């Protein structure tokens, strides 16, 4: 049984990787926030501790999941964000090279400037803020220095349920669960959701190959914040009870002051070309997610 080390595994994506890998590999799941019984403590910003823990486990695969993903936090804490999102990844690259094992790293659709309607795996990044820049810097480092690597770009993440989903889908569902009768939804942001369990499943299959490189990995179907929110209301059968009011991003400018691209739509062209695009349509994935975690 191969051994897999997954660092930064305490979030919504980590929960999906735990479910995908736990039965088929000998795994070590670590995070600085030990919020599940299957997690062990490791702060990968501590270079010496990270190196010691990984080498002691001696994995066949290293997966580096953790990152600061709040754009507002990153923009107001640039040094901490770069240390967490870039320097720790550099440590992972050196570890994977020293152990001669593949490294899997998670990037984001947010690296693009949004001037195009959609982006494929080969489009050039155009970061708008510190978070996006940190992911571009990490991508650049890994592609230039890692011997065996997979970079997987996710879109609007959904997964983890009430305890771990702090993103758009989770926030909308929480408003509905709290009895809100009106939702204010931006009408100027397009993208592609990413169901964490589908993403982890594709990662698992990709890691069985030696087709190293950078891959977009999002749900099928181009959509928008407004369309996703409308579908959530429909799935909860609240269409006649909840009003959706369209607003521009300026409506939330005090809370969400960081610049965001107007379009974060990705296409999984490379996964399609190698026959590994198992990502479901976003509506189907959203339906499954809500039924499994919220009903």
pLDDT the model gives residue 270: 98
Which uninterrupted H or E stretch holds 194?
Answer: strand 193-195
pTM: predicted TM-score of the whole model, two decimal places:
0.95
Using only C-alpha atoms, what is the Rg of the chain? 19
Tell me how far apart the alpha carbons of residues 16 and 127 are, in angstroms, rounded to a whole number. Answer: 27
pLDDT the model gives residue 243: 96
pLDDT the model gives residue 295: 85
CB 263 within 8 A of CB 109: no
CB atoms within 10 A of CB 239: 12
pLDDT the model gives residue 205: 97
Query: Taking CA 104 as the corner, what is the angle to CA 289 and CA 140, rounded to the nearest 5 degrees?
Result: 115
CATH code of domain 3-165+192-221+264-280: 3.40.50.720
Domain locations in the chain as residue ranges:
3-165+192-221+264-280
Q: Which residue ranges of the chain lie beneath pLDDT 50?
A: none
pLDDT the model gives residue 1: 87
pLDDT the model gives residue 64: 98
Tell me how far apart the alpha carbons of residues 43 and 103 are, in angstroms, rounded to a whole number. Answer: 18
Tell me how far apart the alpha carbons of residues 185 and 199 are, in angstroms, rounded to a whole number. Answer: 26
pLDDT the model gives residue 293: 94
Q: How far apart are the first and last CA of the chain?
A: 36
């Amino acid at each position: 049984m191969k051994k897999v080390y997954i660092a930064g595994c305490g979030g919504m994506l980590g929960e999906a990787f735990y479910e995908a890998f736990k039965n088929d590999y000998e795994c070590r799941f670590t995070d600085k926030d030990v919020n599940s019984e299957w997690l062990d403590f490791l702060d990968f910003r501590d270079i010496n501790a990270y190196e010691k823990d990984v080498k002691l486990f001696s994995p066949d695969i290293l997966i580096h999941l953790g990152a600061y993903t709040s754009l507002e936090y990153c923009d107001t804490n640039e040094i901490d964000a770069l240390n967490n999102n870039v320097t720790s990844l550099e440590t992972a690259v050196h570890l994977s090279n020293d152990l001669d094992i593949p490294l899997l790293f998670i990037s984001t659709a947010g690296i693009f400037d949004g001037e195009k309607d959609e982006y494929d795996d080969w489009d050039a990044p155009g970061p708008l803020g510190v978070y996006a820049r940190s992911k571009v810097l990490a991508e650049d480092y890994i592609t230039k220095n890692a011997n065996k690597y997979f970079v997987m770009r996710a879109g609007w993440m959904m997964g983890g349920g009430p305890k771990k989903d702090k993103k758009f889908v989770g926030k909308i569902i929480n408003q509905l669960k709290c009895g809100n009768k009106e939702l204010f939804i931006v009408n100027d942001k397009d993208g592609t959701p990413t169901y964490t369990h589908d993403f982890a499943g594709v990662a698992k299959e990709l890691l069985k190959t030696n087709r190293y490189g950078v891959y977009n990995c999002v749900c099928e179907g181009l959509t928008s914040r407004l369309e996703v929110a409308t579908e959530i209301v429909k799935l909860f059968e609240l269409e006649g009870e909840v009003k959706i009011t369209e607003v521009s991003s300026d409506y939330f400018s005090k809370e969400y002051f960081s610049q965001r691209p107007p379009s974060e739509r990705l296409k999984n062209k490379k996964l399609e070309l190698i026959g590994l695009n198992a990502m479901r349509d976003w509506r189907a994935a959203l339906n499954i997610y809500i039924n499994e975690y919220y009903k």
